[in-house]
Amino acid sequence: MSESKLAGQFFDAAIGLLERVRDEEAPRIAEAGSLVADAVAAGNRLFAFGAGHSSLPAQDVVYRAGGLALMNFLAVPGTAGIDVMPATLGSALERVDGLAGAVLDSSPASDGDVLVIISLSGRNALPVEMAMNARAIGLKVIGVTSVAYATETKSRHVSGTFLKDHCDVVLDSKIAVGDAELTIDGIDAPFAPASTVVTSAIMQAVMAAAAGELAARGVEPPLLRSGNVDGGHEWNGRVMQEYGDRIFFRH
């Protein structure tokens, strides 16, 4: 079977986006890494949130080998991926006013903590209110979004604002509105979304920057090791014990 031209085109598109983010967002990725490092060094906590498919890059940095053990997933019931039936319910919940405040009020997040909010469009009520409420209680907010949506679509929040308007640092994924990289004759809809690939890379880049910043300050980053290498479970057990008061996922 011959190689797929479309598969190669998708890889090229994804690589191009990754290169753009690397080159254009480097200062802000470093800034986000510093915010994360500040929280770790000061004894504060780290949280990540995303709804729908935007939850996947958030989950990717939680309890992750090679990742910071202090990163916690801030779960909003019904929006963590596609874990509800029908799947469209998750999309509907993103537009519900007041849900973000209820979740934050019930969470351990508090003044001085860092919350990374991932929303490709940044236009729905849930991510906008999550950022607004988080900053109101003293959290530092890092937004990962496609800034293009703010100029090419309308906000669905009553304020008319987007996620990017309520963040301490905004990381632009460069994803085009519609999140589909390929089109060809014979297929009516564009296809091959790259937002998960790019956003996951952004998240890992921020974690890498944070680890480097902590090391530069003489602080050992609280990293997890793979449980599939010798000594991994023992290493992780020590980290979990030392930082247990700042880790909220089940372990």
Domain ranges of the chain: 29-246
CA-wise closest residue to 166 among 131, 124, 138? 131
121, 179 in Cβ contact below 8 A?
A: no
pLDDT of residue 207: 98
* Alpha-carbon span 216 to 197, nearest angstrom: 29
Partnered with residue 141 across adjacent β-strands are 115
Q: Which amino acid is at 90?
A: G
The per-residue pLDDT string of the chain (251 residues; one tens digit each, 9 = 90 and over) reads 567 999 999 999 999 999 999 999 999 999 999 999 999 999 999 999 999 899 999 999 999 999 999 999 998 876 776 776 677 766 767 766 777 888 898 899 999 999 999 999 999 999 999 999 999 999 999 999 999 999 999 999 989 999 999 999 999 999 999 999 999 999 999 999 999 999 999 999 999 999 999 999 999 999 999 999 999 999 999 999 999 999 998 65
pLDDT of residue 64: 95
CA-wise closest residue to 169 among 224, 206, 208? 206
Model-wide pTM > 0.85: yes
Partnered with residue 144 across adjacent β-strands are 118, 171
In sequence order, the 6+-apart residues with CB closer than 8 A to the CB of 159 are: 128
175, 146 in Cβ contact below 8 A?
A: yes
* Alpha-carbon span 48 to 93, nearest angstrom: 18
How many degrees, rounded to 5, is the angle at CA 200 between CA 196 and CA 204? Answer: 175
Sheet of 71-73, strands arranged across: 71-73, 46-50, 114-118, 140-145, 169-172
Partnered with residue 116 across adjacent β-strands are 48, 142
According to CATH, the superfamily of the domain at 29-246 is Glucose-6-phosphate isomerase like protein; domain 1 (3.40.50.10490)
* Alpha-carbon span 130 to 76, nearest angstrom: 10
Largest CA distance in the chain: 58
